Amino acid sequence: TTGAADSIGFLEFSQLFMSFMSGNTTRFGVSVSRFDWESTSRVASVIVLFCFGAFAGTLIAAWVGRWRLSVLLLLQSVFLTIGLIIPHGSFAFPLHAYPIVIALGLQNATLQDEGGRSLALTYVTGAVVRFGTGLANLMLGTVAPSFWIQAPLWAALSTGAVIGGFLQMRYGEDAFLFPAALSALLAVIA
């Protein structure tokens, strides 16, 4: 769902990333260097809300225990849907993007280990680096068990991004209903 929602958001919200905070951080730096305070506010608010989503998701996951996956996926579905019905806001403060960003921040808490460390679900730079270093370690005979999950994570996010692009071209902003419905379905299954 993350790849699809990020792709849809990027296309719908003038190249604003919903979960790719590295890209938004670069955009933040460029905006500040150009004294473009409207763009700076836009990108900074998204980064802060994504962080808040990860923060809240971690707390919620700790509170609900074994129901973590179901509760967080359901909340993600709700927030993705809310983004379609609230006022759009301004360019500097795209209110309708905020629930979507929070939903994707929350998603990072769905798969955490006992130490509260998340599996990279909304970004791929780490997965690609871990895959590359894992390939080298495989050749050296010291591959970690986590190596085998890196390529599928990247493939899932990439596939979702392609699907999201097609959905956005066909349905516009309503394409967010696809990842919302998928999250709700996965919440019920979990």
Q: What is the mean pLDDT of residues 54-64?
A: 91
Q: The pTM is what?
A: 0.79
Residue 2 CA to residue 40 CA, distance in Å, equals: 24
Burial of 146 (0-12, 13-18, 19+ CB in 10 A): exposed
Higher pLDDT, 165 or 130: 165
Identify the DSSP state of 112: B
Residue 107 CA to residue 179 CA, distance in Å, equals: 12
Q: What's the pLDDT at 141?
A: 87
Q: What's the pLDDT at 15?
A: 83
pLDDT at 151 over 80: no
pLDDT at 116 over 70: no
Higher pLDDT, 112 or 65: 65
Q: What's the pLDDT at 46?
A: 93
Q: What is the mean pLDDT of residues 22-41?
A: 91
Cβ(72)–Cβ(61) below 8 Å: yes
Higher pLDDT, 162 or 73: 73
The CA dihedral of 60, 64, 70, 71, to the nearest 10 degrees, is -40
Residue 18 CA to residue 3 CA, distance in Å, equals: 9
